[in-house]
């Protein structure tokens, strides 16, 4: 089974990895626990320790810094790696929440049998294939229910309908997902129609069996994908784009298939339905995600030129940077060509915990909270002459202030987290989030974090600088 996304794996040696996977290898952020003790918390690439991370040996010795191919290349202070360690801890926590098991045909069958629409579809298909009709009582009941609930269902669907194209940088991923989702059922439907036409199967039976199945297959992606993305800390913006685009695709495909089925029924032949399915499958399969990706990359080229201009490069060098070539007689500074710019963007989006955080949290309120939180730390760093981030009490004081002043603990955020209390919830949240952040500091492991927060909480909670009061 291919390991992809968040997950936990225990090796035969007893080693254990909790974090992100890509194409079966450790990729992104995660925590690896060695079989003889000790652990590595940080970034991974291609199954190896690569990026910023901290390795703690069973003896207590610590190596922190930038890793390349499993070896420490540049040594840093542990405090400089705190962001990567925190990201690895978050990835490990998300991996621990992933449901283990499932995916077997038996699991899929049990889930299918537990779904009421499955039984309704099976009963309707059986009646159509057997040439039977509903009893008068059941026909009357279902027709009246359909008349009563149809407008209400359409109104509810219209109120919750979200349709819109994806952003250019999302086009390739969205196109790939929708192609993978829509092409197989459309192609199989066309093949089944071709077989029915060749073998002379009854038109009514063919349409009765294929029609409902294809309607279900082209239905929009369920909104639950957003909750899934939030739960497992996936890219919520990409999930929302997939849901919106799939809704637009369903609005186009469902009427087309309905008209084709009507024409086939009127003509007494499945040929119109076959043509509609074949044409739709061809159109879906003809998408060019690579072209969309190139288009998105092309939009990034002017940014590279702007960076060259800001760095003091002459206009000719900036123009050459936008074209991906060095200017004649000039040395363009590192990172200004289109290719280098794309490489830098790809590196940041795949390796930097902060950039990945901002991509996954592209909600204006959450971005404001995150920026305010970090700016409070920057303010403390600038005003504190003797501030020492390896000192647990110093770190705790800044985390208390950041949690209190950034909006991390306002009522709405706590309500979404399921934390509600009659009184004192704000202080509880500030204390909880401060302890969590301080515990990520390699110098403040275990009970040191809670003790540090307790010792400075009252004074630091009251310190609202640079604000007059808690915003």
Dump pLDDT digits (tens) for 393-431: 999 999 999 999 988 888 877 777 777 776 788 888 999
Q: Do 37 and 82 share a domain, yes or no? A: yes
Between 432 and 224, whose confidence is greater? Answer: 432
Residue 377 lies in a domain: yes
Q: Do 166 and 276 share a domain, yes or no? A: yes
Q: Do 179 and 272 share a domain, yes or no? A: yes
Q: Whose CA is closest to 463, among 368, 383, 374, 353?
A: 383
pLDDT of residue 358: 61
Question: What is the per-residue DSSP string for 408-448?
Answer: TTSHHHHHHHT---SS-HHHHHHHHHHHHHHHTSGGGTTTH
Instruction: Residue 260: give the domain boundaries.
Output: 127-132+160-290
pLDDT of residue 286: 74
pLDDT in tens, 43-78: 999 899 998 999 999 888 899 999 998 999 988 888
Residue at a domain's end among 96, 118, 142: 96
Torsional sign, CA 426, 429, 433, 436: positive
Known active-site residue 162: no
Question: What is the per-residue DSSP string for 282-340?
Answer: HHHHT--HHHHHHHHHHHTHHHHHHHHHHTT--HHHHHHHHHTSPPTT--PPTT-SHHH
Residue 143 lies in a domain: no
Task: At 432, list the tokens.
Answer: 């909880």
Catalytic residue among 162, 374, 399, 458: 374
What is the tally of structural domains in the chain? 4
Residue 270 lies in a domain: yes
C-alpha 104: how far from chain center: 24
Q: Do 369 and 422 share a domain, yes or no? A: yes
Of the ranges 118-132, 148-162, 292-306, 422-436, which one carries the lowest mean pLDDT score?
292-306
Q: Do 328 and 379 share a domain, yes or no? A: no
For the chain, the 3-state helix, strand and coil shares in percent, each to the nearest 5, are 65, 10, 25
Residue 421 lies in a domain: yes
Q: Order of strands across the sheet with 48-56?
A: 5-10, 16-22, 25-33, 39-45, 48-56, 62-68, 71-75
Residue 121 lies in a domain: no
Q: Do 398 and 456 share a domain, yes or no? A: yes
Measured CA to CA, the distance from residue 319 to residue 337 in angstroms comes to: 10
Task: Name residue 30's beta-bridge partners.
Answer: 19, 42
Residue at a domain's end among 272, 290, 308: 290
Q: Do 197 and 267 share a domain, yes or no? A: yes
Q: Do 315 and 345 share a domain, yes or no? A: yes
Element spanning 150, H or E:
helix 136-159
pLDDT in tens, 321-376: 344 444 444 333 344 466 666 666 666 666 666 666 666 655 666 777 888 888 89
Q: Whose CA is closest to 175, among 44, 291, 301?
A: 291
Q: Is 47 helix (H, G, I), strand (E, B) or coil?
A: coil
Q: Do 346 and 401 share a domain, yes or no? A: no
């Amino acid at each position: 089974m291919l390991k992809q996304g968040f997950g936990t794996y225990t090796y035969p040696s007893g080693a254990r990895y909790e974090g992100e996977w890509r194409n079966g290898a450790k990729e992104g952020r995660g925590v690896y626990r060695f079989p003889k003790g000790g652990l590595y918390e940080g970034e991974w690439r291609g199954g190896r320790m690569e990026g910023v991370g901290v390795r703690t040996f069973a003896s207590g010795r610590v190596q922190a810094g930038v890793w390349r191919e499993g070896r420490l290349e540049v040594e840093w202070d542990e405090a400089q790696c705190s962001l990567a360690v925190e990201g690895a801890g978050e990835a490990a926590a998300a991996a621990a929440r992933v449901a283990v098991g499932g995916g077997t045909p038996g699991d899929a069958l049990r889930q299918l049998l537990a779904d009421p629409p499955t039984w309704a579809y099976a009963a309707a298909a059986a009646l159509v294939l057997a040439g039977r009709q509903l009893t008068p009582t059941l026909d009357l009941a279902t027709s009246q229910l359909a008349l009563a609930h149809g407008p209400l269902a359409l109104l509810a669907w219209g109120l919750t309908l979200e349709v819109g194209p994806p952003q250019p940088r999302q086009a390739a991923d969205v196109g790939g997902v929708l192609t993978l989702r829509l092409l197989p059922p459309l192609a199989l439907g066309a093949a089944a129609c071709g077989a029915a036409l060749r073998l002379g199967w009854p038109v009514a039976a063919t349409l009765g069996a294929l029609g409902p199945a294809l309607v279900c297959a082209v239905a929009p992606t369920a909104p639950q994908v957003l909750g899934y993305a939030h739960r497992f800390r996936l890219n919520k913006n990409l999930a929302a784009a997939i849901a919106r685009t799939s809704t637009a695709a369903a609005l186009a495909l469902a009427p087309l298939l309905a008209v084709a089925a009507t024409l086939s029924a009127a003509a007494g032949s499945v040929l119109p339905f076959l043509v509609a399915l074949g044409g739709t499958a061809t159109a879906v399969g003809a998408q060019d995600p690579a072209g969309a990706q190139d288009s998105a990359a092309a939009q990034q080229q002017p940014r590279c030129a702007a960076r060259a201009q800001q760095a003091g490069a002459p206009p000719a060098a900036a123009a050459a940077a936008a074209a991906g070539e060095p200017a004649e007689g000039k040395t363009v500074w590192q990172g200004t060509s289109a290719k280098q710019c794309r490489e830098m963007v790809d590196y940041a989006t795949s390796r930097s915990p902060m950039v990945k955080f901002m991509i996954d949290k592209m909600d204006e309120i959450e971005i404001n909270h995150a920026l305010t939180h970090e700016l409070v730390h920057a303010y403390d760093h600038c005003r504190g002459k003797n501030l020492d981030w390896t000192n647990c009490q110093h770190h705790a004081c800044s985390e208390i202030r950041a949690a209190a002043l950034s909006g991390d603990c306002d009522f709405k955020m706590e309500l979404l987290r399921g934390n509600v209390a009659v009184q004192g919830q704000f202080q509880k949240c500030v204390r909880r989030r401060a302890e969590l952040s301080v515990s990520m500091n390699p110098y403040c492991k275990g009970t040191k974090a809670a003790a540090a927060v307790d010792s400075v909480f009252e004074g630091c909670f009251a310190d609202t600088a640079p604000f007059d009061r808690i915003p």
